[in-house]
Structure 1
Amino acid sequence: MPASISVSSLTWSTPDGRAVLSGLDLSFPPVRTGIVGRNGSGKTTLLRLLAGDLAPNAGTVTRNATISTLRQVVARSPAETLAQALGLAEPLALLRRAQQGVATEDDLAAADWTLESRFEAALSAAGLYATAETQVATLSGGQQTRAGLAAAILADPDFLLLDEPTNNLDAEGRAALATFLASWRKGAIVVSHDRALLEGMDAIVELTSLGATRYGGPYSHYRERKALELAAAEAARDHAEQALREVRNGAQTVRERKDRRDGAGVRKARRGDMPRILIGARRQRAENTTGQNARQAERLETEASGQLAQARARLEVIEPLVVDVSPTGLAPARMVLQLSTVTAGHGDAAPVLVGIDLTITGPERVAVTGPNGVGKSTLLALIRGTLPPRSGSVRVSVPLAVLDQHASLLNPAESVVANLRRLKPGLDENAARAALARLRFRTSGADQPAGTLSGGQAMRAALACVLADTPPPLLLLDEPTNHLDLDAIAAIEAGLAAYDGALIVVSHDEAFLQAIGVTRRIALTAPA
């Protein structure tokens, strides 16, 4: 039997009872399937249910396949090696003992003689230039993502489950991942907003508030079909609305005509030129006609209303997303930031930044670019003060805020509105909720614990916490578009375009950098 994964009547809700997936029926054959949908539609939840990391509230998940998931590889101790983090230290040590001629018979019986070559091939497929002895703490976020991909590949599963795999990856890493997936001949289920990656999918599954719909791949085909379906659904809704208006107008016209006839009869009866028996017969006939007309009008309106409800049910209701930004008052000549001959690194490892000089004056928009591992996030850590320089000086002259891809400014135990009021104490309850509503956190959504939010929802909540009320004159953005759907990215681009403070942005999303009007670029390279 071919490998497959399927779900039947799958339902899952958050611990506080908020429905995320309801009655989902899906099957995944061993092809490359992209999962798309707006933030909060349940994409990551579905992936975790498929992997067995979550248990459904109702329904079943059937796995006729081996599964490997992409997990971020993070060091548990400063000196932990890649082999240790991936659980390969002992099997690789056993092979070294065998090569040195000191292995026991039990060692030789347990040895996986292909492990070294498969490990090297997995690292190569993931585009990671590292060895088993590389310390995980020296890897950038993008390199750690590649390490996680290498681990998933090494398992050689029937299905790969990848959640936003291009997050943190530079152009080379994204190209390596796309090349690998193009050659993958088993199943892959990929949650992503990366249109280039999705273009290589064999099928697309869209999650919406209406459920799940499967389309043939690639992504461009899905978009074409989706546009046609949306146009047809909107046309059906418009037609049903017009039909309902015509039914109501027709009923009103019938009532007005009858009222005029009845009025004429009453006036004639008052003149006394109509026999009493005829007056009674006309009154009875008028009453019968009124009842018949009312029943007919009610039946036609019920039918038209039902058709309109059906037409509207085929259209997803989407709340608008608005990012309002107040002025910061940053003067054009104000010194914002100055780094002088800065050298920095993490732990005892070699420095990743050497002799860095950087000055920002006024509302400049600076993009920090470069491949994974050259120190982009290290530079932001220096500016925000969480990493001291080994030499040189860092001077920040204005208040700042940090919006990173992990939305780390949020306390996961607090509600969204409580986080906002903690970070912006000048906002009262009503003002805080109004600010959150513009970013699609309405009523109960604002009361959700931040720890239950999806990646995209958490980023929107963090954005509200940074930009609500009066934003600081300096914003540090570390891969802010990771996890965000395309509508959210467009809204944030519009909001940041209106921001009049200074921006320092680390991002591999070139379209985003252009949209927010970057005025200067700093391309970091690895130290010589």
Structure 2
Amino acid sequence: MLILQNISYTHPNKDLLFSTIHLAVNNHDKIALIGNNGAGKSTLLKIINQELAPSNGQIIIDTIPYFVPQIFGQYNHLSIAEALKIDGKLNALKEILNGNTTEENFNVLNDDWTIEDRCNEALKYWQLNDLDLSQKLESLSGGQKTKVFLAGISIHHPELVLLDEPSNHLDSESRELLYNYIQSTKNTLIIVSHDRKLLNLLHTVCELNKNGIKVYGGNYDFYAEQKEMEKNALNQDIHNKEKILRKAKEKERETLERQQKADSRGKNKQEKAGVARIMMNTLRNKAENSTSKLKSVHTEKIDGISQDLQTLRSAVPDTDKMKFGFDNSQLHKGKILFTATDLTFGYTNKPLWKTNLNFQITSGERIALKGKNGSGKTTLINILLGNFEPQTGTLYRAANKAIYIDQDYSLIDNHLNVYEQAKKFNSSALEEHEIKIRLNRFLFSKEDWQKPCSALSGGEKMRLLLCCLTIHNKAPDIIILDEPTNNLDIQNVHILTNAINEYQGTLLIVSHDEIFLEQTNMERSIVIE
């Protein structure tokens, strides 16, 4: 069905994104395409979809793929029908039914008399019954846009489906619909995702990096086991190489000490034997040359071992190099932070929630805030933060220091560069070199310090924000995260999970990623409807 032969792609600025991509995809394969942010996963999907041309290599494909994109802004000016490329057929069908039976209309329709029925069925399956095909995509939420493109699969009946982060922005109920489709479909699938529940439904994991693709024959759990084995083997290799390096340095020291003692004894004998000065100088030069050659041999060996060790250490996953060191909240555990009594809110006269909200949040709790898309989770967060006031009911707020990390990482100032952003959080008067040490710890090297924050990916912004929180000398009493794993690769989800688990204050997290919630040890849920 699909063969990629020696595919490479170079950005217009001449930076190589990836090379030597070889991959064969057979009918009914279900493949996960994973890799760190910036590895080129979305670019590779676009190459397969023939939206982009590779810099080198050949694509052999015997079908027209259907593509569910990750970012929808480029379609906002289109209607749903136009975005799904069915507007022509729908217009032709309408014209024919109205009596305009031209040859052009019949050619456009191409005997697809069920197109309207399939559209209605597809939208109904994805819970989009209330949408009109003439609506502009700009009027839809992120979750609705995703579901519109997912609905296109059953409208077009493709053999090969490419999906780029399809579970992003979907609520739990919509995610279950997606999982059911993936399990039941006979379509060939290539899916870019960080959703580990979704990845476990796929049969093969392909890991993309700059130098090619590595194929793991199993689901994500199998892949994770293999990576853990590789990591353990790497750590063992590093340990063994460090031991060899220590022994080589000890042998060098011992050998040089023996040589120096031998040279010293020889010199003493020569002096006692009354050897002429000119001969003494000759013998001393020979001894020094011999010692120098001996040292050179050992230095060469040690340099080779050190280089091998450096290569091994460079292969250690970035997440294992990071250190967090978050401070804990100063509030005593169990202090009441919020008490909501019969809370209601609405942007019109219609209440946002079916039932009034009643809940209490105390210091040290780890709480998941759950609800369907559009149920008002972000609105409730704004009420807790004091940005909105409830229309009826009461909300008690204790004095507390809260950090709100939204989906757009708005705490990051896009007008600053990376170093300036870190310095902005430096309330404890850290020296410049200490700030830069923290940045290095969070994988921002010297080359990144002047990079504008506006150019950072979602994962990079998340890492920078975590770094800023460690620079700030006062830990927040409560951290609120709104869909924090959207648009993060698996590595950055792992980084975020580790950071959250080191923080001992109050956590309120909005997420539809059940595995993420489980791994961050959420204790209870507040569910709004």
TM normalised by structure 1 equals: 0.77
Give the letter for the 2:176 counterpart.
A
Question: Letter of the aligned partner of 2:216 in structure 1?
Answer: Y
1:461 aligns with 2:459: no
The question of 1:443 aligning with 2:446 is answered yes
In the alignment, structure 2 segments of 5+ residues that lack a partner are none
- The one-letter code matched in structure 1 to 2:162 is L
Structure 1 partner of 2:527? 523
CA deviation vs aligned residue, 1:86-133 (integer Å, no higher than 9, x gap): 45456435434544x4444243442242323443454467x4453552
- The partner residue of 2:406 within 383, 397, 404 is 404
Contact kept in structure 1, 2:344 and 2:351, CA below 8 Å: no
2:33–2:207 Cα contact (<8 Å) kept: yes
| TM-aligned CA distance change 1:415 to 1:157, over 3 Å | farther
Change (3 A) 1:355 1:97: farther
Residues 375 and 279 (structure 1), Cα distance of their counterparts in 2 relative to 1, 3 Å cut:
closer
Superimposed CA distance per residue, residues 37-58 of structure 1 (whole angstroms, 9 cap, x where no aligned partner): 34444444544555566677x5
Aligned letter for 1:175?
E
The CA distance in 2 between the partners of 1:132 and 1:171, in whole Å, is 20
Q: Which residue of 2 aligns with 1:66?
A: 64
Q: How does 1:355-370 map to 2 (within 5 A)?
A: 355-363=355-363, 364-370=365-371
Q: Contact 2:319 / 2:491 at 8 angstroms: preserved in 1?
A: no
Q: 2:200 corresponds to which residue?
A: 199
Which residue number corresponds to residue 11 of structure 1? 10
What's the secondary structure of 1:344's corresponding residue?
A: coil
Q: Using the alignment, how far apart are the partners of 1:325 and 1:275 within structure 2?
A: 72
| Mapped pair 1:505 → 2:509 | yes
CA–CA distance in structure 2, aligned partners of residues 120 and 67 of structure 1: 22
For residues 335 and 294 of structure 1, what CA distance do their matches in structure 2 show? 68
Distance 1:216 1:289, change over 3 A: same
- Aligned equivalent of 1:107, options 102, 105, 108: 105
Cα shift at 1:400: 4.5
Contact 2:403–2:478, Cα closer than 8 Å, also in 1: yes
Deviation of 1:198 after TM superposition, in Å, equals 1.9
Distance of aligned partners of 1:59 and 1:84 in 2 relative to their CA distance in 1, 3 Å threshold: closer
Change in CA separation of 1:366 and 1:152 when aligned onto 2, cut-off 3 Å = same
Contact 2:32 2:204 in 1 (8 A): yes
Matched, 1:25 2:24: no
What residue is the counterpart of 1:130 in the other structure?
129
1:215 deviation in Å?
2.4
* Alpha-carbon distance in structure 1 between the residues aligned to 2:313 and 2:58: 31
- Is the CA contact 2:336–2:361 (under 8 Å) kept in the aligned structure 1? yes
Contact 1:86 / 1:151 at 8 angstroms: preserved in 2? yes
Q: Secondary structure at the match of 1:353?
A: coil
The answer (yes or no) to whether the contact 2:195–2:513 under 8 Å persists in 1 is: no
241-250 or 310-319, which deviates more: 310-319
Q: Give the match's secondary structure for 2:354.
A: strand
Partner AA of 2:115 in structure 1: L
Shift of 1:138: 8.1
Distance change (3 Å), C-alpha of 1:446 and 1:59: farther
Structure 2 CA distance for partners of 1:252 and 1:442, relative to 1, 3 Å: closer
Which residue of 2 is the match for residue 119 of structure 1? 119
Matched position secondary structure for 1:441: coil
SS in 2 for 1:92: helix
The CA deviation string for residues 136-156 of structure 1, in whole angstroms up to 9 with x for no partner, is 688654343222322356444
Query: For residues 103 and 7 of structure 1, do their structure 2 counterparts lie closer, same or farther at Cα, with a shift above 3 Å needed?
Result: farther
* Change over 3 Å in CA distance of 1:403–1:28 after alignment to 2: farther
Aligned to 1:376: 377
8 Å CA contact 2:23–2:213 kept in 1: the answer is no
Distance in 2 (alpha carbons) for counterparts of 1:456 and 1:517: 22
Match in the other structure for 1:174: 175
Q: Distance in 1 between matches of 2:448 and 2:45?
A: 23
Residue 417 of structure 2 aligns to which amino acid in structure 1?
Answer: S
Amino acid at match of 1:448: K
- Conserved? CA contact 1:159–1:187, under 8 Å: yes
Structure 1: distance between partners of 2:223 and 2:521: 31
Q: Secondary structure at the match of 1:405?
A: coil
d(CA) in 2 for partners of 1:333, 1:232: 46
| Native 8 Å contact 1:67 1:159 kept in 2 | yes
Counterpart of 2:526 in structure 1: which amino acid? I
Change (3 A) 1:323 1:338: farther
Q: 1:248 to 1:131 in 2, by over 3 A?
A: same
Distance 1:293 1:428, change over 3 A: closer
CA spacing shift, 1:162–1:360, aligned 2, 3 Å? same
Q: Map 1:329-340 onto structure 2 (within 5 A).
A: 329=330, 333=335, 336=338, 338=340, 340=342
* Cα distance between partner residues in 2 of 1:325 and 1:289: 55
SS at match of 2:222: helix
Q: C-alpha separation between the residues in 2 aligned to 1:508 and 1:154?
A: 27
Residue 230, structure 1, aligned to residue 231, structure 2: yes
1:163 partner amino acid: D
Q: Distance in 1 between matches of 2:437 and 2:246?
A: 35
Residues 252/521 of structure 1: CA separation in 2 closer, same or farther (3 Å cut): closer
The equivalent of 1:35 in structure 2 is 33
Distance 1:440 1:391 in 2: 47
> May I ask how many residue pairs the two structures share in their alignment?
514
Aligned to 1:150: 151
Q: CA deviation at 1:34?
A: 1.6
Aligned ranges 1:316-331 → 2 under 5 Å: 320-326=321-327, 329=330
Choose the corresponding residue for 2:417, options 404, 415, 418.
415
Q: Could you tell me which amino acid in structure 1 is paired with residue 116 of structure 2?
A: E
1:368 Cα deviation from its structure 2 partner:
1.8
Change (3 A) 1:103 1:507: same
TM-score relative to the length of structure 2 = 0.77
Partner of 1:481 in structure 2?
Answer: 485
With 396-405 and 264-273 compared, the bigger mean Cα shift is at 396-405
Change (3 A) 1:227 1:502: closer
CA distance in 2, matches of 1:103, 1:270: 120
Contact 2:319 2:495 in 1 (8 A): no
Quote how far apart the aligned CAs of 1:262 are.
2.2
Q: Which moved more, 1:193-202 or 1:397-406?
A: 397-406
**Structure 1 position 165, deviation (Å):** 1.9
Distance, in Å, in 2 between the alignment partners of 1:250 and 1:465 is 46
Secondary structure of the corresponding residue to residue 440 of structure 1: coil
Using the TM superposition, give the Cα deviation of residue 333 of structure 1 relative to its aligned residue in structure 2, in angstroms.
Answer: 4.9
- SS in structure 1 at match of 2:321: coil
Percent identical pairs in the alignment equals: 27
Separation in structure 2 between the aligned mates of residue 452 and residue 257 of structure 1, nearest angstrom:
59
Q: Offset at 1:180?
A: 2.3
101-110 or 132-141, which deviates more: 132-141
Tell me the secondary structure at the aligned position of residue 512 of structure 2.
coil
